[in-house]
Amino acid sequence: MNFLICLLLGFVIASLGSITPSFLNLTVVKYSLRNGKKSTFYLITGYATVLFFQANLGAYLANILMKNSEYITLIQQIGTGILFLLSINFFRVYYSSKEQKMEKEIPKSKSYFYGILMSLLNMMAIPFYFTFISLLIGFEYFNYSYLNAFYFSIGSTIGSFTLYTIYAIVAKNIELKLTFIASKMDFILGCLTGFVAIGNLIYLFNK
């Protein structure tokens, strides 16, 4: 029963993260249209391989935080700095992408390894898992252990793979909509991370 709960939690949380338009699912759509679904599955497998370890790391860090509350302020300070850097980076990506529209051709034979590289560049994955697992631990829906984290990571891998596979299958129908949303996503994320960082900074000063 515990296995199924952890698996389901991982699946649901990863699905929520994967359904949001981003450079990962936008790449899946464009790659599927260009090279076909079979090659795209290798790309998605590369994504999922890295996400398995990212989910594990997010769970481990969340467990450390919940057990060592004296480090919360320090982590908040570091997190605020990271949020400011992420905000700056998102704005940089948004404005630089307007100037440079050239797309690199991805060789089919390197699909899996390119998927790994793309997933490693996804800076939001570990903070995403860290935040949600911290909430689950706080509300006592998730008890951390190496085995539970392993089950959770399996569920998150399946969830991500499933969502990205759906994107690959329906690529032809959603390309234009997803491209438009994703083109604005870096700007939206820049604003969101900036607002959260400012909010955290105000909170830390008034603490």
Residue that has been written with the tokens 């909010």 in this structure: 199
| 8 A C-beta contact, residue 88 and residue 198 | no
Q: Is the Cβ–Cβ distance between 83 and 200 less than 8 Å?
A: yes
One DSSP character per residue, 91-141 reads: HHHHHHHHH----PPPPGGGHHHHHHHHHHT-TTHHHHHHHHHHHHHHTTS
- Residue 66 vs residue 127, higher pLDDT: 127
Answer whether 0.85 is exceeded by the pTM.
no
Q: CA torsion sign, 34 to 168 to 175 to 93?
A: negative
What's the confidence (pLDDT) of residue 154? Answer: 95
- pLDDT tens for residues 7-18? 999 999 998 888
Give 131-178 pLDDT, tens digit per residue.
788 778 877 888 889 999 999 999 999 999 999 998 888 877 766 665
